[in-house]
Chains A and B, each alone.
Chain A
C-alpha cells in the first residue's frame, strides 16, 4: 500500500471510521507483528503488544497528522515502543518509554526536514555497519532490544559513563555518516 493510502486510512480512523481501521490493520499488521516478534521473541507477548499497538493507533490517530512522521514510521514506532515497554515491564525500576505524547507530539518540522531525515534513514544500516562494531551493536541493542545504558555497560564491560560517552560519539558519527553518504 502506498504512503498516501496509509495516510488517508489513518485520517479516516481519526474520524472513528471502523472500516478504515480494518483496512489499516490488514495492510500493516504483518509488519507490526514482525517488529513486535523481533523485539519480544515470543509469539504470545508479540500478539499482545501488537494488539495494544492497534488500540493506541485507534485512539490516537487524530494526533497523527500533526507530527509530520511518515505513516509507517509512526505505526512502527508505536509498535516498537509498546514491545520495548513490555520487555522492560519485567525488569526492576521500569519506566514506560511510550508515555503518550512521545511519538504523537506536534513537531515544527516541515515536510522537507523530515523528507531529508527519511532519505538519510535509507543510509542508516550502512552507517551502522561503518561504526566501530560494538557501537553499532549498542545502538541496535538499545533500539531493537530495549537495552538501557546500565545493561549495555554490563554487556560491554565498561562503566556506565563510558558507555554513554561511547554511544553518544557513535550517534554523532552516525548522523555525520548519514548526511555524508
Chain B
C-alpha cells in the first residue's frame, strides 16, 4: 500500500470529484470540511459534483424498507411547528445554527437596541430569517419584533439588475402576498407591519421578488421570486 500522495496529486477535476464524494459521505473533518462546505456555496461546478454523489449514494437506501412511524410523532411534529407556545430547546438550537453568525449578531444588536432604556419585557419574542437568493447572489437578513410591530431588514449581499428593484413581501398561509416595499439601496430598512400581519408574526413567510423600478405596478408580485423563507423564533 503506497502513501496517499499519489491520490492527492490527482489533478483537478478528479481531485475535486473525490473531495465531493468524501463530503457527501461525511468523511471530511475540521478545516478541510469547512473549506469544502464553503466551496459548495461558492463554486457551482463543485456543488454539482456534490449533488451527483448525493444522487449516487442515496441508492444505498433503496433496499431500506419503509417503516410507518407511530402517529404520535406526527402530532408532536405538527405541534412543534405550528402551535408551539415555546419552541423546544433542540429545535431552537437548530434554528440558531441555521441562522448565519451575522443574523445572530444583528438580532442580538437589535434586541439590545429595542429593549433600549426600558426594562426587558417578559415573554418578549423575536422572529428572524435569512433570505438567500436561489439564482442570484442575494442575501438579506430580517428580524421581526411583534411587540413593536416592525420588521428590520438588512441587505448583506446582492444588487438589483439595472432598472429593476427588489420588492419585499409578507405572506400568510392561504393569503395573497402583502408588499412591504422596495428594498432601499443603502442596506437597512425598517417597516411597520399592518396589524393583521403583526398578530400572526410567527406564521409569516418573507419573499423577495424581482420587479420594475419603484416596485410592482399591480400590487402583486409580477417578477421571479428570488428568495423566500419563513421566519423562526429566535
Contact = CB atoms under 8 A, between A and B. Distances in A.
Contacts of B12: none
Contact of A59 (B7, B25, B232): B232
B4 A65 contact: no
Contact of B134 (A54, A65, A113): A65
**Interface size for chain A: under 10, 10 to 19, 20 to 34, or 35 or more residues?**
35 or more
Given A55-B80, A169-B7, A100 B55 contact: no
Given A68-B51, A121-B58, A30 B2 contact: no
Contact of A144 (B60, B66, B171, B173): B60
Contact of A117 (B29, B52, B132): B52
A69 B55 CA distance: 7
Contacts, number: 217
Contacts of B174: 17
B98 A59 contact: yes
Contacts of A169: 7
Contacts of B59: 121-122, 124-125
Interface residues of B, number: 75
Contacts of B41: 101, 105
A149 B30 CA distance: 13
Contact of B82 (A18, A84, A113, A167): A18
Nearest to B4: A165
A29 B69 contact: yes
B29 A165 contact: no
Given A16-B173, A101-B37, A108-B47, A30 B68 contact: yes
B187 interface: no
B171 A77 contact: no
Contacts of A31: 61, 64, 66
A90 B134 CA distance: 34
Interface string A11-27: 00011111000100100
Given A31-B61, A99-B37, A175-B21, 8 more contacts: A15-B171, A29-B68, A33-B66, A55-B94, A59-B229, A76-B61, A95-B29, A168-B18
